[in-house]
Amino acid sequence: MARTPRPPFLDPDPERNLPRPGQDWPSLVEERAQRLRGAQARLAPNAEPLRWRHELAQALSSDPGHRRQFLADAVRLAGGAAGLALASTAPALRAATAPRIAIVGAGLAGLTAAYRIHRLTGWVPTVFDAAERVGGRVRTRRGLAGGHSSEAGAGAIDSRAQAVLALAREVGLWPMVDTWVRLPRGGYLYDFLGEFHQPAALERRVSEDGAAAYRLWKQGIGFLPQWDRSNALTRRLDEMTVAEFLPQHSRYPDDPVLMAYQRASMAPSYGGTIDQMSALVYLLQYADIWGRGAWNERWMIPGGMDTLTSTLQDRLPPGTVRLGMHLKAVKQRPDGTVRLSLDAGGHSTDLRFDKVVIALPPPVLNQIDLRQAGFDDRMMRMIRSQRLGGNSKLNFQFERNVWAAQGRSGDAISDTATGWSWQENFQARAPVNHICFNNLEYPGAPAHGQAPEAVRRDTLAAIDRLYPGASREVIARHCYLDHWPADPLAMGSYGYYSPGAFTDYGGYEQVAQGAVHFAGEHTAPYIDRGYMNGAVISGERAAREIAA
């Protein structure tokens, strides 16, 4: 799932990250790659390099020299037998020596890994998923009024999400849908403690606290804290919650509106409440140490976001993806192979593989028998304690754009049932979809489907508070609730770090354990966690590990 965007006011120059007039996408991706490589070299010199994203973007550019060089590199990586240009012939060439590869999880990360393994080497992995559909937390709901669709999970792609943009282009899903067509200029509504608050004063205080966070990071840290890189300050801050940190370090510790803003904005953004998350989550968010500034979340996949995952499935040989297969146990054998115990409709089977990629959320993996998996203590601590956010997403469709008629953009942050809310897409004038993203509990509600009457009533009352009269325009048959914590195959929205997690297992999620490798947004570099881009990055990394 995509996180909510950082408010644009936190970026001193929001336009710096958007395509310039006349600038094509490959050059934009290349420009961003150069900036991020520099940032990564400063912050996490031992982390996974960005070279793959950079070179893939070059390969997709209009420069044939870049393309030829990338294909040559791919051939070398695959042992001279397969590359992007040779993948159609590679299976026959390498079938006799192909390792047995399993990928558990047919979400975006798992399918990216399967697709890239096949393209690089010609090997055909077997992809298992307990669901009856591919995509995982990338899920599009179709059939809305006006022929529209809405996103139950991952909702948009940032202009700097190089990995997923390059992959979409590679598989022919181009050009992207620009959701900012007819983008209004209405700013945010801030609704806390029963009152609306002036943006200027609140935004100034948030920005001042962000500047203080940056100074603290620069003076006392200067790097990305993780399991193998920390100091006394990062360990102390990591043991604190955001709620404990703010009164000690905010310039306005007694401002209830500022605290209400942080409670209402950080939970949708990062998954956990400020009482649940490590203080380092706040520090890294508001210090903006990567120099990315505001996220724009501007682009969507043509046909809906899960068109990407279904397209990846279609690019694999028939029968590669096996749905309805529940992983029950993992055992690494003395001969170096891995035994997976799977169940399909009550029928169990044990299958042996040479290499395995597990692309499941940690809470789901924690339900599996790992007693003989051979994972080390740190990896097991991560699996046992890594949490996914308690986010729910409400998609409500309206006959007309009430907020625009009132001079509003549809963007709001509130401590009511709307949480962080926005208009999903500005392409159509009517009907329109409005998203409410919150961390409320909905006991008894189905994970996915029509919002129960009580939920619809309470949510519409909160929307009416923001935009009077909006409820009269709602299309009752198109009010949906996606309560991701109730989905047994997800058990939450996206990963966040609780106190102590950064310095215990932060960054360790991607470390292979014998013949078992890992993918998923929670295994991505920190800044890409929670996004489709992170899922793709992790799948590409796992594929390289398998192909090496």
Cβ distance 414 to 466 under 8 Å?
Answer: yes
Per-residue buried b or exposed e for 58-86, using 16+ beta carbons within 10 Å of the residue's own CB: bbbbeeeebbeebeebbbebbeeebbbeb
- Whole-number Å distance between alpha carbons of 9 and 14: 8
Task: Compute CA distances 17 → 8, 31, 58, 350, whole Å.
Answer: 11, 10, 19, 49
The single residue listed with the structure tokens 């010609």 is: 122
Q: Which of 444, 470, 486 is the last residue of a domain?
A: 486
How far is CA 88 from each of CA 60, 200, 383, rounded to the nearest angstrom? 18, 57, 37
Residues 22 and 110 in one domain: yes
Q: Maximum distance among all alpha carbons in the chain?
A: 69
Say if 380 falls within a structural domain. Answer: no
Which of the pair, 53 or 340, is modelled with greater confidence? 340
Domain hosting 394: range is: 390-486
Query: Given a cut of 90, is residue 120 above it in pLDDT?
Result: yes
Which token pair is 376? Answer: 């080390």
Percent of the chain topping pLDDT 90 = 77
Q: Residue 94 above 90 pLDDT?
A: no
Q: Is residue 211 part of a domain?
A: no
Q: What are the tens digits of pLDDT across the range 441-491?
A: 999 999 999 999 999 999 999 999 999 999 999 999 999 999 999 999 999
What is the pLDDT, as a whole number, of residue 185? 78
CA torsion sign for 493, 284, 425, 478 is: positive
What pLDDT is attached to residue 12? 34
Q: Do residues 20 and 88 both lie within one domain?
A: yes
Q: What local confidence, expressed as pLDDT, does residue 58 receive?
A: 36
Specify whether 448 is located in the same domain as 346: no
State the pLDDT at residue 396.
98
What is residue 180's predicted lDDT score, i.e. its pLDDT? 87
Average pLDDT of 343-370?
Answer: 98
Q: Looking at residue 104, which CATH number applies to its domain?
A: 3.50.50.60
SS3 annotation, 164-197: HHHHHHHCCCCCCEECCCCCCCCCCEEEECCEEC
Are 421 and 359 in a shared domain? no
DSSP assigned state of 84:
G
Over residues 200-204, mean pLDDT:
95
Mean of pLDDT over the chain: 86
**Which of 15-29, 68-82, 225-239, 375-389 shows the lowest mean pLDDT across its residues?**
68-82
Region of 485 please: left (phi>0), alpha (psi -120 to 50) or beta. Answer: alpha
Burial string for 289-303 (b: 16+ CB within 10 Å, else e) reads bbebbbbbbbbbbee
Same domain, 37 and 78: yes
Is 24 in the same domain as 149? yes
Structurally, the chain folds into a number of domains equal to 2
Inter-residue contact 145 to 431 (CB < 8 Å): yes
pLDDT of residue 428: 81
Q: Which amino acid is at 333?
A: R
Same-domain status, 361 and 440: no
300 — pLDDT class (breaks 50, 70, 90)? very high
253 occurs within a structural domain: no
Is pLDDT at 261 greater than 90 in this prediction? yes
Instruction: Looking at the structure, tell me whether residues 20 and 152 fall in a common domain.
Output: yes
Task: Choose the final residue of a domain: 486, 503, 526.
Answer: 486
Which residue has better confidence, 163 or 289? 163
Answer whether residue 148 shows pLDDT above 70.
yes
H or E element that contains 415: none
- Report yes or no: 107 and 309 within 8 Å, Cβ to Cβ: yes
pLDDT surpasses 50 at 60: no
In a domain, 27, yes or no: yes
The set of residues, in sequence order, having a beta carbon less than 8 Å from that of 222 and lying 6+ positions away, is: none
User: For tokens 């990055």, what's the residue?
Assistant: 537
Query: Which one-letter DSSP state was computed for residue 426?
Result: S
CATH of the domain at 454: 3.90.660.10
> Of 467, 486, 505, which residue sits at a domain end?
486
Q: Which residue has the higher pLDDT, 192 or 29?
A: 192
Torsion of CA 82, 83, 84, 89, to 10 degrees: -20
134: in domain? yes
pLDDT band at 523 (very low <50, low <70, confident <90, very high): very high
More reliable by pLDDT, 368 or 37: 368
405 and 530 together in one domain: no
In a domain, 240, yes or no: no
The answer to whether residues 482 and 436 belong to one domain is yes
List residues bridging with 483 in a β-sheet. Answer: 392
pLDDT at 31 (0 to 100): 57
Residue 413, CA distances (Å) to 5, 7, 190, 424, 463 in order: 12, 10, 5, 15, 11
Determine whether 149 is exposed, middle or buried from the number of CB atoms within 10 Å of its CB (0-12, 13-18, 19+).
Answer: buried
Mean pLDDT of 40-61: 41
Cα–Cα dist 306/295, whole Å: 21
Strand order in the sheet with 321-323: 321-323, 126-129, 101-104, 355-358, 516-518
In a domain, 187, yes or no: no
Residues 6+ apart with CB under 8 A from 361: 388, 490, 491, 492, 495, 520, 522
Are residues 155 and 297 in contact, defined by beta-carbon separation less than 8 angstroms? Answer: yes
With a CB cutoff of 8 Å and minimum separation 6, the contacts of 387 are: 271, 272, 276, 362, 363, 492, 495, 496, 498
Mean pLDDT of 188-204: 96
Q: What is the pLDDT of residue 201?
A: 94
State residue 347's pLDDT score: 97
Residue 519 has φ and ψ, to the nearest 5°, of -145, 170
Half-sphere exposure of 339 (CA within 13 A, CB side): 13
Q: What is the pLDDT of residues 72-92, one digit of tens each?
A: 333 333 333 333 332 333 344
- Is there a single domain that holds both residue 416 and residue 482? yes
Q: Where are the alpha helices (DSSP H) in 315-415?
A: 362-365, 377-385, 402-405
Q: Is residue 500 part of a domain?
A: no
> Which residues, listed in sequence order, are joined to residue 449 by a DSSP beta bridge?
481
Mark whether 366 and 395 lie in a shared domain.
Answer: no
